Structure 1
């Protein structure tokens, strides 16, 4: 398979590239900076290329934001944020269509649901209710993709954990380091998904007939992870005697219903997958 991948140097992009390399796929990296290996096409959301090479699919993960922030990633310049992320994505999709790329997969976010109470079971048929410019932008990019005459699919992904490559940093690297150092950890819970399970969802979508995935959005999430439970497992693995943060009620974090994707054959790793990740550190 030949893939065009934006944001291939980012955290999620590296999971996708590692999987493509294992499969022997050809990847064209669409990034600002040239990668260490592989074919490269300079890409910036502010000035996306008007011409793209043909490929089997475009996977759009690139997102321009203040480093370390998604919600609130616009900083003090919301107009520039929208121009780059919304208008830039639309121009990218149009260039892919003109190049004859038959499938486009867009990495959206659970932020499109943020306005719902924590007791809500989040399903794809709910009216979208973003409360941040980030969520609003993701929603509008989804709509723009649906208006193109291509096989367009959006994946509303939750938080991603795991090592994109062996021994690389991961989303909880600093959390674990602070815990080992005996620092006070604030209680928090969130919906989480291993990066390899996200990649499995992407591969499944790309393999299915167009009538099953075209102009659709799919929730992609796995488990609600409380820092108390996560750090308890990590502490036991490392033999650490540290103070744990208070447990958070699971009812304080809305769960994403992934039945729609499960029914197509997708099954993430759940708690066994998370425990395997912790034990491998």
Structure 2
């Protein structure tokens, strides 16, 4: 299979590139900077749509945002954020339709659900009320795919973790090691390799148009306790989060297709690699 991965150099896109290479696919990275691992085509969400002739599938991970931010990633330029991430994605969808691409995988987000009843379980068929621009744009791209001619799957991913040159918890671990106050928090997480495995399911099976992708409900106190164990350090563990207003994602639809995430064992393995 010949696959174009937009944003293949990013913190999340790199997992899709690695998974496709391991599966023996021919991979081309569409990004602003060349990839050291695979062929590269220059691509910018603010630029013209790429020529996708000859590609069997597109995995769309590219997203323009303020560094380190997704919710609130528009910074002081919401119009520019919308032009890049909504208009740019719509142009990519049209280019894929024109080229006859067979499969289109979109990296969406749990942010599309917005505020729900406290303790609600998030299912793919529930009404979405995103309150952030990030979630609104992701939902609009999902809706555009639903009315396109493409065979598409939107992966509503939770927080994505995994080792690498930079990772999502680097700042948290640095603050913890320096003795700075850590605010209590609980959230859902999935390893990037498990997210990419969900993409493989969407590429190779007849899947529903929307799939939740999540694995662990993780309290920061538990995460930092495992970090201490992996790093052989000692220190005071912060308090557990008190709020029960988090939302667990129902992944039964994806699991019924054979997907099985790595759970705590994969998290501990990733922490050892991060350390």
TM class by smaller structure: over 0.9
The question of 1:91 aligning with 2:91 is answered yes
| Alpha-carbon contact 2:43-2:50 (below 8 Å) kept | no
Q: How many residues align?
A: 274
List aligned pairs for 1:49-198, cutoff 5 A: 49=49, 51-164=51-164, 168-198=165-195
Separation in structure 2 between the aligned mates of residue 118 and residue 10 of structure 1, nearest angstrom: 33
Separation in structure 2 between the aligned mates of residue 278 and residue 33 of structure 1, nearest angstrom: 28
- Partner in structure 2 of residue 268 of structure 1: 261
For the structure 1 residues 279 and 84, does the alpha-carbon distance in structure 2 shift closer, same or farther, using more than 3 Å as the test?
closer
Q: Deviations over 1:25-75 (max 9, x none)?
A: 211111112222422211111123253232121000001111111111112
Where does the alignment leave 5 or more consecutive residues of structure 2 unmatched?
Answer: none
Where does the alignment leave 5 or more consecutive residues of structure 1 unmatched?
Answer: none
| Alpha-carbon contact 1:122-1:255 (below 8 Å) kept | yes
| Alpha-carbon contact 1:224-1:250 (below 8 Å) kept | no
Separation in structure 2 between the aligned mates of residue 80 and residue 195 of structure 1, nearest angstrom: 28
| Alpha-carbon contact 1:118-1:252 (below 8 Å) kept | yes
Equivalent residue of 1:11, what SS? coil
Separation in structure 2 between the aligned mates of residue 276 and residue 37 of structure 1, nearest angstrom: 24
Separation in structure 1 between the aligned mates of residue 22 and residue 260 of structure 2, nearest angstrom: 20
Pick aligned residue for 1:240 from 224, 233, 249: 233
- Partner in structure 1 of residue 219 of structure 2: 226
Separation in structure 1 between the aligned mates of residue 104 and residue 243 of structure 2, nearest angstrom: 35
Q: What is the TM-score normalised by the length of structure 1? A: 0.92
